[in-house]
Chains A and B, each alone.
Chain A
Amino acid sequence: MTSDSFLDVAGAEKAFGGVTVLGGVDLRVAAGEFISLLGPSGCGKTTLLRIIAGLLAADRGSIRLDGEEIGARPPHRRDVGVVFQNYALFPHLTVAENIAFGLKARKHPAGEIGPTVRRFLSLVHLTDFADRSVRALSGGQQQRVAVARALAVKPKLLLLDEPFSALDRKLRENMQIELRRLLRELGITAVFVTHDQDEALTMSDRIAVMNRGAIEQLAEPATIYRSPATAFVLEFVGLSSRISGTVVGQDYEHVVVDTAYGQLRAPGSFVPGASVVLAVRPERIKVNAPGDYALVARLRDAVFQGSKVQLHFEARDGDHLMVETADLSDGLPAPGTEMRLGWAVADTLIYPAS
């Protein structure tokens, strides 16, 4: 137990009707940190969130928050705020009454409640909406009420369950930046559940990538992206070119792999004969430029995406060759064009084939 972990979840287990949803998860979060739980639906991320909030009882495991064991406490005695996916605003109350709810329930003095509510209304830019019914608000406004309501009681920890999933893309990006700024200003420790990798990469100090009830990797966004710990993390976060092959030998610190495109190398060590997958992030591959490799492939499709262009190449069954590039001075190449792809050995990732 490290002294600097503010939230410390140890060995959290949960099964529903014999099916394990969470298999002994450990999670340590430092004070003021913003952690994302990222994974596909059914990976157990929402279950973990509900267990931390006390809305669901874990079968086993302990939860310590700010030095206190809270695993056995009911949710109203945990000091853990939650922003729900559908916001769960009280439909019979106004915006201001929603924000005041927790303060009144905690019996704050009446003279304190008014100013606190006004402060949080202005923090989320809803001062003019104080007396509106929450049903008259747009999705983005409702989301801000939900955040203000959860923060007004100054919880030790804020949990967010996919709070942006109902918003359209432009609004979502603005809200992400705004929420991150607000939490940083208030120094709030937050755990954020999402299945959206862009959201996790944009907002988090660290990301816990979850799969089948376990955390596969817990690291900073750049580490998650550049050196995924497992093939699952590689596939779930970001895009990649993937080539399968068989290990034929070891050349100092490089594994030598036999593939359909010749012998390729990757940093690491594997037993000869093992089936592996080599992967490279698409922006690490150079087109028609010198590199450690020069693999010639035929263009299948070029997708213009504004700031960048995605090139998809013909590849063997099970393999996937794609490149992302920003500089194509000659315009989009026509499908069928043969191009030379090159990348550095150091940028090559290698995983056992699943």
Chain B
Amino acid sequence: MTPKSAPSPWRDPVALLAAPAVLYLLVIYAFPLLWLFMKSLTGPTGFTLQPYVSFLGDPFNWRVVGNTLRVAAWVTVVCFLIGYPAAFALARAGAVLQIVMLVAIILPLSVGAVVKAFAWQIVLRRDGIVSQILVGLGFWDEPQRLLFTETGLVLGAANIFLPFMILPIYSVVKLIDPRLSEAGATLGATPLYRFAHVTLPLTLPGIVSGVAFVFSMSVSMFVIPSLLIGDRFQTLSTLTGRSFLLMRNEQLGSTTAVILLVLAVAIVVGSTWLARRIGGSTT
């Protein structure tokens, strides 16, 4: 630590480089959000909390909140279970293989979520490949439809968000000295102990950003649930969309949007804080 305090942004011209970004976010993001927030708090007679009270008073809406969080949590878990080992394979692969794998992970991002969701519709059908494989392997007695089920939604969404789990973890794993695990071994630590006490704490920053990315994207996804599960299953973001687009109910839409935002931010910030506490002095 140097005793020198951080230079004032007014004296350090480098800070001014952030000005376009700040301006852009203010105009395009912060002001509309503020408008949304105000809208949800404004009734015919001025300030009101009525929209929130009536929203939370309806058990249907609690199911919507539950759907939203449950699906987002499952998508995050699936992405983590697949993405964490994949990030290691990627980081420890040879130079050529690493480039091939990176291209395979990044290139699909250029295909929009709509296209991918339509592709998953085909994959998840009763006669789709997933069903055929599970029947072929003897897990299922007869073909079943995964499309328009929660499992199908989680599978499809996890596929689409997987790169956002792999890439942050990969970038952290790449920086970890493989000798650290060897040092642990020569000190008498079993592979499991080394993983729990060396690898996991050191990859925690990558896990935290991967989880934050995937969770916040899947808690707010709109197109993917619309195509893979349909209207019977509502989440906060599909409900927000319906309120604005179909029901023309700006106040309900604003309310659900604000609730979604508060929940997502609280969970991401809270889990990050928790992970850092558990991870000890990891920075």
Q: A residues within 8 Å of B by Cβ?
A: 53-55, 74-82, 84, 86, 88-94, 101-102, 104-106, 133, 149-150, 153, 155
**Count of residues in B whose CB is under 8 Å from the partner chain:** 22
User: Shortest Cβ distance from B208 into chain A, in angstroms?
Assistant: 14
Contact A92 B201 (CB under 8 A): yes
Contact A86 B177 (CB under 8 A): yes
Contact B202 A101 (CB under 8 A): no
- List the 4 shortest-distance A-B pairs measured between CB atoms, nearest first: A102-B187, A105-B189, A75-B185, A88-B179
In the complex, chain A residues whose CB is within 8 Å of the CB of B180: 88, 90-91
The answer to whether B197 has its CB under 8 Å from any CB of chain A is: yes
Contact B188 A105 (CB under 8 A): yes
Contact B202 A91 (CB under 8 A): yes
Contact B279 A92 (CB under 8 A): yes
Chain A, Cβ-Cβ closest to B190:
A76
CA distance A282 to B186 in the complex (A): 43
Looking at A53, A55, A77, A80, the one whose CB has the most chain B CB atoms below 10 A away is A55
Contact A76 B281 (CB under 8 A): no
CA distance A146 to B179 in the complex (A): 13
Q: Other than the known A88-B180, A149-B187, what 19 A-B pairs have Cβ atoms closer than 8 Å? A: A74-B185, A76-B184, A76-B186, A77-B188, A81-B186, A81-B187, A84-B179, A84-B183, A86-B179, A88-B179, A88-B182, A88-B183, A90-B180, A92-B279, A101-B197, A105-B189, A133-B281, A150-B186, A155-B186
Q: Could you say which of B179, B188, B279 contacts A106, with CB atoms under 8 Å apart? A: B188
In the complex, chain A residues whose CB is within 8 Å of the CB of B189: 76, 101-102, 105
The answer to whether B49 has its CB under 8 Å from any CB of chain A is: no
Contact A80 B198 (CB under 8 A): no
In the complex, chain B residues whose CB is within 8 Å of the CB of A133: 281
In the complex, chain A residues whose CB is within 8 Å of the CB of B44: none
Contact A53 B279 (CB under 8 A): no
CA distance A92 to B180 in the complex (A): 11
Contact B183 A153 (CB under 8 A): no
Contact B179 A101 (CB under 8 A): no
User: Shortest Cβ distance from A349 into chain B, in angstroms?
Assistant: 40
16 contacts between A and B (CB under 8 A): A75-B185, A76-B187, A76-B189, A80-B186, A88-B182, A90-B198, A92-B201, A92-B279, A92-B281, A92-B282, A101-B187, A105-B184, A105-B187, A105-B197, A149-B183, A153-B188
Contact B193 A105 (CB under 8 A): yes
The answer to whether B280 has its CB under 8 Å from any CB of chain A is: yes
In the complex, chain A residues whose CB is within 8 Å of the CB of B185: 54-55, 74-76
Task: Tell me how many residue pairs across A and B have CB atoms closer than 8 Å.
Answer: 78
Contact A105 B190 (CB under 8 A): yes
Contact B280 A92 (CB under 8 A): yes
In the complex, chain B residues whose CB is within 8 Å of the CB of A76: 184-191
Contact B202 A92 (CB under 8 A): yes
Contact A82 B182 (CB under 8 A): yes
Chain B, Cβ-Cβ closest to A93:
B281
In the complex, chain B residues whose CB is within 8 Å of the CB of A89: 183
CA distance A207 to B258 in the complex (A): 73
Given contacts A92-B202, A92-B281, contact A82 B186 (CB under 8 A): yes
CA distance A105 to B190 in the complex (A): 8
Looking at A76, A81, A133, the one whose CB has the most chain B CB atoms below 10 A away is A76
Chain B, Cβ-Cβ closest to A104:
B197
User: Could you mark each residue 113-152 of chain B with 1 if its beta carbon is under 8 Å from any beta carbon of chain A, else 0?
Assistant: 0000000000000000000000000000000000000000
In the complex, chain A residues whose CB is within 8 Å of the CB of B183: 82, 84, 88-90, 149
Chain A, Cβ-Cβ closest to B198:
A90
A-facing residues in B179-232 (Cβ within 8 Å)? 179-180, 182-191, 193, 197-198, 201-202
CA distance A8 to B190 in the complex (A): 25
User: Shortest Cβ distance from A23 into chain B, in angstroms?
Assistant: 25
Chain A, Cβ-Cβ closest to B279:
A92
User: Shortest Cβ distance from B56 into chain A, in angstroms?
Assistant: 42
User: Shortest Cβ distance from A12 into chain B, in angstroms?
Assistant: 18
Chain A, Cβ-Cβ closest to B281:
A92
Looking at B188, B281, B282, the one whose CB has the most chain A CB atoms below 10 A away is B188
Contact B281 A75 (CB under 8 A): no
Contact A75 B197 (CB under 8 A): no
Chain A, Cβ-Cβ closest to B204:
A92
Contact A101 B281 (CB under 8 A): no
In the complex, chain A residues whose CB is within 8 Å of the CB of B281: 92-94, 133
A-facing residues in B144-184 (Cβ within 8 Å)? 177, 179-180, 182-184
Chain B, Cβ-Cβ closest to A101:
B187
In the complex, chain B residues whose CB is within 8 Å of the CB of A94: 281
Contact A88 B187 (CB under 8 A): no
User: Shortest Cβ distance from B3 into chain A, in angstroms?
Assistant: 15
CA distance A191 to B188 in the complex (A): 19
In the complex, chain B residues whose CB is within 8 Å of the CB of A106: 187-188
Chain B, Cβ-Cβ closest to A161:
B179
